[in-house]
Homo-oligomer: A and B are copies of this chain.
Amino acid sequence: MAPTAVDVTSSAINAASSAPLKTSKLTSPTAELHPLDDITPGENNLAVELIRDYHRNDGFEPWFKAVQRQEPRKAVLLQWLDAYHAGHKPAAIPRKIEVLYIEPASARIHEAIVDVASQKVESHSVVQGNHRTNLDITQLEAFEAALVQDPVVKQALKELGLEPDTPIASDPWIYGADSFEDQPYLMQFLMYLKSPRTGYDGDTFHYSWPLPFVPVVDVNSGTIVRVDWCYTGDSADGMVHTWKEGWARSNMEEREYMPHLQQNFQPRAGLKPLIVQQPEGPSFTVKGKSVEWQGWQFRLSWTAREGLTLHDLRFKGRSVFHRLSMSEMTVPYGDPRPPLHRKQAFDVGDASCGFTANSLSLGCDCLGAIHYFDGHLALPSGVLLQQQNVVCMHEVDDGLGMKHTNYRTNNPYVVRRRTLVLQTIITVANYEYIFLWHLDQTGAISFEVRATGVLSVSPIDAGKTSPYGNVVSRGVLGTNHQHIFCVRVDPRIDGDGNTVHYEDSVTMPFDTEADKLLNPYGTGYTVQKTVLEHEGGVNLDPLKNRTFKITNPNKINAISQKPIGYKLHLPATQLLLAHPDSVAFARAEFARQHVWVTKYRDDELWAGGKFTNQSNGKQGGLATYSQAKEGTVNEDIVLWAVFGLTHNPRVEDFPVMPVESLMMSLKPNDFWETCPILDIATSTQAVNKSILVQPSEAEAPSCCKK
């Protein structure tokens, strides 16, 4: 296998064909931009026009998937950043726009780089091999609207004994591959009835009415190529179709979540308002996409695939991370019965975190003193989609951050824990992911995922149960599934040259007389250090308290005499359950181990491979990135952290699921020579203005009143 699974053949560049366009107008001079500033509307227009012009004789109109500022090559960028932070005015790095687009009829993928200053297409290539970009909402809406009118679907309804004009809904789904052979470009749709009572309302909840057929659509032709039927029985039925004509409507029942549609909605009484005020304003300052807060300095970026990314993170003037991002997730379902075995989404690569981001709302998604960041992304037409409020940022009081009471004087020392939270929320059809970055005053940064939204369900004969899920509503199986996330951590721990190692805490031997010379009472334990010398993946081992650290071996902590570093707190969670011989396993390379280290290479951002849609093991990912086993000691390296939920649904998770939360953290470890929050003022009532609440009712005679 080649070092990257994606075979890109550069085509010759015809400089003449991309001469400066008179019509393009840059809204801001690029010289004023930070090299990490997102693409400007002017740059977007320039790139779109140049690409269109480049292909003007090629017989197709480019269908844009991503038009964005190419990150400057890291070697160049680091020099610029160091000069910038040293107070110099380094020369601008030439801005390049990277453009990903397809030919609409064939879905053939093109990639190009546009140079902004010269207004030329600098490089162009056609991606070779059987790859697909993400599906986009423009495509999906068109398919979805056509599907419910399609005679093939109407015929399927008839087979179920339903009238052809029965109101139905369809959810587009990625066609998770099920063959190592290359396949046509397909997608599938999960089909639902609509409630006879609420179906008139756009917010009717169709997920309690799953239908047992799955139309499969050829993406290029836009036609249904076949209808797959689902098994709706229990384990005794096995692979026998048990649904019957007339089955559908009586097998299930209406469930609603929107208050105006819930029957007999009785809001729970007694919840009083809770208001967070910052009368002197927030503690952060924002300039464009640059943020400063409590010693932190960092920048945000917004891209089609990753949505929110963080860059050039420094704390108290020292670099800590160069780039942080949610690289990929895989969501495989555990029901092996066709056609639902194909449900394995890669929601970053297949769907895009940028396009699916929610526009967040003050007082609803975000409480307190909120700053919003907007984004914009090129639609398939090249026109900019303006995205308001895709990231909210605010401060949180997270209880106590540190306390000590000297019992001799009874004098307490209390420091509260203030955090800065950046939140973005994506909706991937039925499901929601809430992504939160939490920065704290010690220099730690955490990434939290809150999973919510609606379970992806399948039909089951009413009264039966299944080994592959839990019945969450009459005739509705909440299928067991996993969500496995991979966060990409590009560290720069106080400068260049970083190393990853892990430490296991192990019991000292206590068997021989020699052992007892060192460990006379059997109480001792030691810490075994293993350096990750080469690219590859390693598992957590919580019973050994295995702890990963990223250190800078060139900087020694004067107190501990150990390299300065950050440690990773990563919950030990289950890895991919799909069988190692399966396609599902092959395509989710990252989900096989908990922690990976690779050498830094520009553009290697994708834990599950660059093209995940319908991937079948030939699209790369972390195993591919790391297969050359290059040295990773005191190098420019990347750490990839993998964690997830095995979600075997509860009845409580339907119709909408209360959040399940997972968090990973990166904390300074011998990075400082003292506790880094000793400079935070002690908490006082004078500042915090809390309210003493007396008992709500006259108290019965009680033991505790004096």
Contacts and interface: CB of A to CB of B under 8 A. Distances in A.
Contacts of A271: 283, 294, 418, 680-681
Interface in A381-410: 386, 394-395, 397, 399-409
A584 interface: yes
A510 interface: yes
B364 A684 contact: yes
Contacts of A699: 287-288
Contact of A268 (B544, B680, B688): B680
A365 interface: yes
A363 B690 contact: yes
A318 B633 CA distance: 58
Interface in A659-696: 659, 667-696
A210 to B, nearest CB: 15
Nearest to A430: B404
A527 interface: yes
Where chain A touches its partner, the secondary structure class is loop
Contacts of A114: none
A502 B340 CA distance: 27
A363 B685 contact: yes
A697 interface: yes
Contact of A362 (B509, B675, B692, B701): B692
A129 interface: no
A522 B582 contact: yes
A508 B404 contact: no
Contact of A403 (B277, B452, B544): B452
Contact of A371 (B543, B685, B693): B693
Interface string A399-439: 11111111111011110111001010101011010101000
A38 interface: yes
Contacts of A267: 679-681
A88 interface: no
A334 interface: yes
A354 to B, nearest CB: 13
A678 B262 contact: yes
Contacts of A295: 268
Residue in A272, A284, A582 with the greatest tally of chain B CB atoms within 10 Å: A272
A631 interface: no
Contacts of A519: 336, 579
A526 B571 contact: no
Contacts of A652: 442, 667-672, 674-676
15 contacts: A33-B701, A40-B703, A257-B413, A272-B281, A274-B277, A274-B397, A275-B689, A276-B277, A286-B693, A341-B523, A363-B689, A473-B559, A525-B578, A545-B574, A655-B678
3 nearest interchain CB pairs?
A336-B524, A363-B685, A522-B582
